[in-house]
């Protein structure tokens, strides 16, 4: 469980980097930034990196859910959070299959991405397996551990909320029919992961 928790945290961080990159590219396209630190010739490679990374996380979480179903059998279905794991895993698989077969509507694609953020909910449900996180949710015995896990949990929640807001604003920011000044103003607060995280 600790290994899966570590992968969940890495997945949230990975999605944050992906959002930061795509938001920065959008910022250049709407002339909010003059250029990025990453040369434009690297952009396709970065997009490939994020697609492959997402596929690896999807494969890992699919394997996790599959192993838990095989080991726990009927007990797996008694925990409500396991249904969320199955739905998120299925949504991830469907997203990869659809994008491989046909061009995807960007709005649908973003909604599927928001659904993936539900994986972070497992951090809350795994409190009975992680001693320090259990202390956070049940008692005040270890202040150092509690401070660390409080910071981790609140940061994760803030990351997920920021990614949801940024994903919802992305269509407006990229719409060339909207006023460029308003688009740049929305981008200023919600265009990249770091801007959304700080807003």
Q: How confident is the model at residue 111 (pLDDT cuts 50, 70, 90)?
A: low
Q: What is the pLDDT of residues 143-192, one digit of tens each?
A: 767 778 888 888 888 888 888 888 888 888 888 888 888 988 888 888 88
Task: Provide the CA 22 distance to its chain's centre, in angstroms.
Answer: 13
Contacts of 152 (CB under 8 A, 6+ apart): 9, 123
**How far is Cα 100 from Cα 32, in angstroms, rounded to an integer?**
32
**How far is Cα 105 from Cα 58, in angstroms, rounded to an integer?**
20
Share of the chain above pLDDT 90, in %: 6
**How far is Cα 153 from Cα 163, in angstroms, rounded to an integer?**
15
Q: What is the pLDDT of residues 58-85, one digit of tens each?
A: 899 899 889 999 999 889 888 877 888 8
H or E segment to which residue 194 belongs? helix 193-198
Q: Centre a 10 Å sphere on the Cβ of residue 8 and count the other Cβ atoms it contains.
A: 20
pLDDT higher than threshold 90 for residue 94: no
Domain residue spans in the chain? Answer: 2-198
Q: What is the pLDDT of residues 78-88, one digit of tens each?
A: 887 788 888 88
**How far is Cα 49 from Cα 55, in angstroms, rounded to an integer?**
10
- The CA angle 179-104-108, to the nearest 5 degrees, is 70
């Amino acid at each position: 469980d600790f290994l899966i928790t570590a992968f969940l945290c890495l997945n949230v961080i990975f999605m944050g980097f992906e959002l930061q990159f795509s938001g920065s590219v959008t910022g250049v396209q709407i002339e909010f930034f003059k250029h990025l630190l990453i040369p434009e010739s690297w952009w396709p490679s970065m997009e490939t990196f994020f697609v492959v990374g997402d596929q690896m996380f999807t494969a890992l979480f699919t394997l996790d859910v599959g192993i838990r179903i095989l080991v726990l059998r009927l007990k797996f279905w008694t925990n409500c959070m396991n249904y969320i794991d199955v739905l998120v895993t299925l949504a991830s698989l469907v997203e990869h299959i659809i994008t491989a077969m046909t061009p995807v509507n960007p709005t649908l694609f973003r909604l599927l991405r928001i659904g993936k953020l539900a994986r972070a909910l497992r951090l809350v449900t795994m409190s009975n397996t992680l001693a320090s996180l259990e202390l956070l949710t049940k008692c005040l015995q270890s202040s150092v551990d509690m401070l660390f896990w409080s910071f981790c949990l609140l940061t994760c929640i803030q990351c997920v909320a920021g990614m949801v807001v940024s994903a919802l604003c992305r269509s407006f920011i990229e719409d060339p029919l909207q006023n460029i000044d308003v688009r740049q103003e929305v981008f200023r607060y919600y265009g990249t992961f770091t801007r959304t995280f700080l807003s």
